[in-house]
Structure formats: C-alpha cells, structure tokens
C-alpha cells in the first residue's frame, strides 16, 4: 500500500472544524433568543393598559371660557375653550418676552382639514416646576395672565399654557393629541 492513499489521523480538516464552530454558535444564539423572547415580551403593556393610555374627548361640550380636566393613565390634562379675547391676547404676546419662547400657533394641532382651531388649547396639567396641578377657570385663581396658576410655588401660565412668571422652567407640555373630527380630540400618552 502506498503512503499517498492513507490519511494521517493527526491531520485536521479546518473547514469542517470552522463549520462546526459556526453552527454551534448560531444554534446557541438562536436558542438564547427563543428563551429570551417570552421574558422580554411579558414586559410590554397589556391590551387594557394600552387602551387606557388614550382618550377621545368631545370638545364641543366645553363652554366658551371654560375648561375640562381629564386623567389619562393617572396624568392630568387640560382642554380649554378660549374666548376670542384670550386668543387675541395669546397671539399678540411678544415671543421675545417669554421665558420659554413659543408662539400660540406652535402650541396648536391642526384640524382634519389642516387648519388650526385657536379657540381650543390642550395641555398637560402638571406644572413644569415640580409636577403640581395648577388651578384655572373655576379654580378661583387664574393667575396674573388669565391662564393657570400653580399654588404650590407660584408659577403663572398664560391662556396658551406658556410660563410667564415663577419658578417653572418651561411651558406646560403639549401632549400627543390629534383631531379625530372637528369636535373630537384624541389624546394619547
């Protein structure tokens, strides 16, 4: 028998070894993913929680000059139907005089037809200073600018929810909302 026909048991087939290593790593990673998915997926919000994280509000029920307050996921939101005088005051305020400069129009969302409804303002109901809930129409104190007043530390907001005086560093936040129809607003967390 010639030596060329016999294989040396000491020789290693490197391609076969590399394939086995790659296949082992791929199987391990795939198995880890299959095991981890249920644990990660259980951290997602349940369907009832997702449903509770948005609310549709009929704004046609808000009287001119009034507001309604709603809770979504335990967070307060204000929906205010401003008077023509309140809208005019908010629009005529020089942006350069504001601690957190924003025009009134920047704080509004478009109607389904693309136009803005300046009479309706939707804001978060948490003061941007320490999270207290400011008072407004019906609360007995509209503050110095006709908007909201935070009795905890004295922040004053105008009718657009912009900070005008006090320790609050920024305007009341504008939540993620949209007009479903011209008279229904959907607020989402």
CA distance 27 to 29: 6
Residue 149 · residue 142 · CB < 8 Å: yes
CA distance 129 to 134: 11
Residuewise pLDDT in 10s, the chain (189 residues): 455 555 566 677 888 888 888 999 999 998 888 888 888 888 777 766 666 678 999 999 999 999 999 999 889 999 999 999 999 999 999 999 999 999 999 999 999 999 999 999 999 999 998 888 888 765 555 778 888 999 888 899 999 999 999 999 999 999 999 999 999 999 998
Q: Where are the domains of the chain?
A: 10-41, 48-188
CA distance 73 to 77: 11
- In 3-state terms, what secondary structure has residue 171? coil
CA distance 81 to 87: 10
Q: Position of tokens 């900070």? A: 163
pTM: 0.71
Helix (H) or strand (E) holding 96, with range, is none
By residue count, the chain amounts to 189
Nearest to 86 by CA among 14, 1, 143, 139: 143
- Positions marked active-site: 153
CA distance 132 to 84: 28
Residue 171 · residue 102 · CB < 8 Å: yes
* CATH 2.102.10.10 assigned to 48-188: yes
């Amino acid at each position: 028998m010639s030596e060329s026909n016999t294989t040396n048991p000491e020789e290693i087939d490197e391609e076969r070894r590399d394939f086995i290593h790659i296949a082992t790593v791929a199987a391990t990673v795939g198995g880890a993913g299959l095991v981890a998915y249920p644990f990660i997926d259980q951290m997602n919000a349940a369907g009832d929680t997702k449903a509770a994280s948005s609310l549709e509000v009929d704004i046609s029920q808000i009287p001119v000059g009034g507001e309604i307050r709603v809770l979504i996921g335990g967070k307060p939101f204000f929906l205010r139907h401003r008077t023509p005088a309140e809208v005019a005051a908010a629009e005529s305020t020089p942006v350069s005089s504001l601690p957190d400069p924003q025009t009134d129009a920047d704080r509004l969302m478009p109607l389904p037809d693309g136009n803005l409804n300046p009479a309706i303002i939707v804001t978060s109901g948490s003061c941007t200073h320490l999270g207290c809930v400011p008072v407004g129409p019906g609360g007995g104190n509209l503050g110095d600018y006709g908007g909201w007043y935070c009795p905890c530390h004295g922040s004053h907001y105008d009718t657009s929810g912009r900070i005008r005086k006090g320790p609050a560093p920024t305007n009341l936040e504008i939540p993620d909302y949209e007009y479903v129809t011209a008279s229904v607003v959907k607020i989402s967390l």
